[in-house]
Structure 1
Amino acid sequence: MQNELPLSEREMEILRLAATGASNKEIALTLGISPNTVKVHLRNIFEKIGAASRTEAAAYAIRMGWVEMGDIPADPEEAERAAPEPVSVPQKISQTPGMRLLLIGLGILLTVMFIRRTMTPPAEINSAALTPLPPETGSEQWEALSEMPAERSGMAGVVFENRFYLLGGEGKQGLTAPTWEYTPETQTWASLADKPTPVRYAPAAVLGGQIYLAGGELADGKPVNHLESYNPREDRWESHAPLPENRSQAALAAFEGKLYLFGGWNGMAFSADVYRYDPTADQWELFASLPSARGFASAVVSGNKVLLIGGRNNTTPLDETLAFHPQWVLEGEDPWEQLAPLPQGRFAMGTVELAGNVYLVGGQSYGQVQSILTPLVLHTAENKWAALEAPPLEVGPYLGLLAYENRLHVLGGQTLMQGMTASHQTFQAIYTRLIPLIP
């Protein structure tokens, strides 16, 4: 069966160990290779199975049945010491391969991953959404890390090959051109190539090994029509076909080899246009229309659709959660599907998908920045929003929200008390626990 898999024998060994929760160093020690070699193999595994992180790769392997009890490396001597004392059985049975596997299996630990869910009803979310967070509030799920190199807000953020990239945005001295790279393993930041056109409020998406930024807003508030991409492997920027019109505050998603740009501000009004970009042809087309014009919404890919969440029009923050089906457009049908609404309208928030659920942090609800809006999670299988624990540090709009392995990373943004911030907080969304196979 292994010959039919798109992974080499070494990659299968590494994937099996990763599924048990082993670190890169532990995998390297087990296989007699260097941690850097493990990183290279994991990167190749991610590309082959379409995973964005170690957690997704392990979950995918377990779901596909690639990681089985007999595949997980284990020391038979250790397994036998961990197993209960065997009962007296006939000698002939005790020597069978099946019994030996059973004795080994008694010592193997299975990785059980689950999403911590909060059952707060929407009514309670509404009442708490505008309540300032007490300074002493803390949480075992939240952790404050070392700050970013400087304050930054209105930027785009993505995860690419186990590193974070912050692009565009502004600092206290004005628009920010440098691209920032963060390495989670060492918790270090690096300043890389400048974006050719410094802007704020330009959304980003990863497609074909490039990070695309669409449109954005200049320091004087005027939107632009630039489409620029950053190549992290070469630390190089490139320009592409411009947007059909100037646009800032739009939402962007990469889906099935295309970019989709939703709404935004064109300098005169909010737009309801949905544009599609083909990177092969380097060409834009007007593809669909939103149910209503909006800006500062969030777009996130979830399964076979793109979710468009929240946003604002000229007067009101929106509470809509819409599912966009590009294939339905091609079939001549209405591509929009209404999902569970937000407990209250909000815009300029961070939104990411992790392990099948959609997480939302920060944002703004009315004409001014609130102290904090309750973080939320959309349980997609149940089509239901629920509240998460509040972070220890204040979070507002125009932040960066990234998902990496089992955590959310909340970066920068604007706050009521501090203004622009350089804070970096993490929230553990997925827990890995080891339990014996047999109690």
Structure 2
Amino acid sequence: MSTLYERWGSTSVKIHNHVYTAGGDETNSVECLNLNHFYIGWNKVSFMIEQRWFAASAVLNDQMYVTGGMNARYEALLSVEFYNPVINKWTYTALMKTKRYEHALVSYNGSLYAFGGYDGLIPLNSMESFDPQKKKWNTLKPMNERRQGLCGVVYNDQIYAIGGNELNSVERFNMRTHTWSKVSSMKYKRCGACACVVSGKIYVIGGYGDKESKMTIEVYDETSKKWRLESNMETLICFASVVAL
């Protein structure tokens, strides 16, 4: 089912049997799709406190956290808010240390990790983590490359930073040693792609950089340590969002 509004640069998550998509070009609206009754279609839920375009989101403690993004004045944001679906309410939490949009956000072992993006002046390689108990962001070791428009996933207990800045390179963050290392590069450069993990593999969808980027999907399998082309899409995809069902 199509969303109620066209959304470019929105962000999405899945919480239990519901999918939420928030923000995008000049909006703070949020929609929800109940997967148990998907034929009913998308429904409006409580709007975010701020308009967020090119923000990033992740699920922590069954709540949707949305970090940064660009506001109506085209300014990069430090602010973070989270949505509690039980009470249908958005609430502010601690500010990030760095303004960022077109960045990545992942949830792992009770914490959030924000990395890369753009602060309004330069592409970023910085990374920070959020502790919900202390309500505090902490600076971590930066990536090897600056990545604006990257996508990120948690895969085999490591954080992967994929593409950005029309790059095809990929690096991963070891949670035990807190160090970044390079892994195999994708076949195509991808900025504004989206990614998820399904059946033990990373799927990266669309983006721009090479002629074929917007219409292709690449898959990474740790067993082979290589990327392969999965298929071509009927629709060109860029700055979309994806969730794994």
SS at match of 1:211: strand
CA gap 1:362/1:205 in 2 versus in 1, 3 angstroms = same
Corresponding residue number in structure 2 for 1:361: 205
Structure 1 CA distance for aligned equivalents of residues 237 and 196 of structure 2: 16
How far off its partner does 1:205 sit?
Answer: 0.7
SS at match of 1:375: strand
Corresponding residue number in structure 2 for 1:326: 175
Check the 8 A contact 2:78/2:97 in 1, yes or no: yes
Deviations 1:116-169 (A, max 9, x none): xxxxxxxxxxxxxxxxxxxxxxxxxxxxxx322221110111111111100111
Structure 2 CA distance for aligned equivalents of residues 242 and 169 of structure 1: 20
- The match for 1:338 among 182, 193, 200 is 182
Check the 8 A contact 1:357/1:379 in 2, yes or no: yes
Structure 2 CA distance for aligned equivalents of residues 152 and 282 of structure 1: 30
SS at match of 1:328: coil
Counterparts of residues 151-170 of structure 1 (less than 5 Å):
151-170=6-25
Deviations 1:350-408 (A, max 9, x none): 10001110111111116xx978331111122211211122223x12211121111xxxx
SS at match of 2:177: helix
Amino acid at match of 1:347: C
Larger Rg: 1
CA gap 1:200/1:286 in 2 versus in 1, 3 angstroms = same
Check the 8 A contact 1:363/1:397 in 2, yes or no: yes
Percent identity between the aligned chains?
24
Matched, 1:384 2:226: yes
Structure 1 CA distance for aligned equivalents of residues 213 and 129 of structure 2: 36
What TM-score does the superposition give when structure 2 sets the normalisation length?
0.94
Larger helix percent: 1
Structure 1 CA distance for aligned equivalents of residues 92 and 149 of structure 2: 24
Corresponding residue number in structure 2 for 1:200: 53
Counterparts of residues 125-164 of structure 1 (less than 5 Å):
146-164=1-19
Structure 1 CA distance for aligned equivalents of residues 198 and 222 of structure 2: 11
Larger strand percent: 2
How far off its partner does 1:287 sit?
Answer: 1.2
- The match for 2:27 among 154, 176, 197 is 176
Structure 2 CA distance for aligned equivalents of residues 391 and 342 of structure 1: 17
User: Which stretches in structure 2 are left out of the alignment for 5+ residues?
Assistant: none
Check the 8 A contact 1:370/1:396 in 2, yes or no: no
What TM-score does the superposition give when structure 1 sets the normalisation length?
0.53
SS at match of 1:242: coil
Matched, 1:242 2:98: no
Check the 8 A contact 1:168/1:199 in 2, yes or no: yes
Check the 8 A contact 2:3/2:31 in 1, yes or no: no
Structure 2 CA distance for aligned equivalents of residues 296 and 220 of structure 1: 20
User: Which stretches in structure 1 are left out of the alignment for 5+ residues?
Assistant: 1-145, 330-334, 405-439
Structure 2 CA distance for aligned equivalents of residues 302 and 403 of structure 1: 13
How far off its partner does 1:224 sit?
Answer: 0.9
* Aligned residue pair count: 243
**Greater relative contact order: 1 or 2 (C-alpha under 8 angstroms, separation 6 or more)?**
1
Structure 2 CA distance for aligned equivalents of residues 390 and 257 of structure 1: 36
Check the 8 A contact 1:364/1:373 in 2, yes or no: no
Matched, 1:279 2:132: yes
Alignment RMSD? 1.6
- The match for 1:304 among 157, 169, 175 is 157
Structure 2 CA distance for aligned equivalents of residues 338 and 270 of structure 1: 19
Structure 2 CA distance for aligned equivalents of residues 196 and 253 of structure 1: 21
How far off its partner does 1:225 sit?
Answer: 0.5
Amino acid at match of 1:162: N
Check the 8 A contact 1:274/1:287 in 2, yes or no: yes
Structure 1 CA distance for aligned equivalents of residues 75 and 212 of structure 2: 26
Matched, 1:219 2:64: no
Deviations 1:209-249 (A, max 9, x none): 21111110013321011011111222110101111132111
Check the 8 A contact 2:15/2:63 in 1, yes or no: no
SS at match of 1:252: strand
Corresponding residue number in structure 2 for 1:13: none
How far off its partner does 1:271 sit?
Answer: 1.6
Corresponding residue number in structure 2 for 1:262: 115
Structure 1 CA distance for aligned equivalents of residues 32 and 99 of structure 2: 28
Matched, 1:374 2:229: no
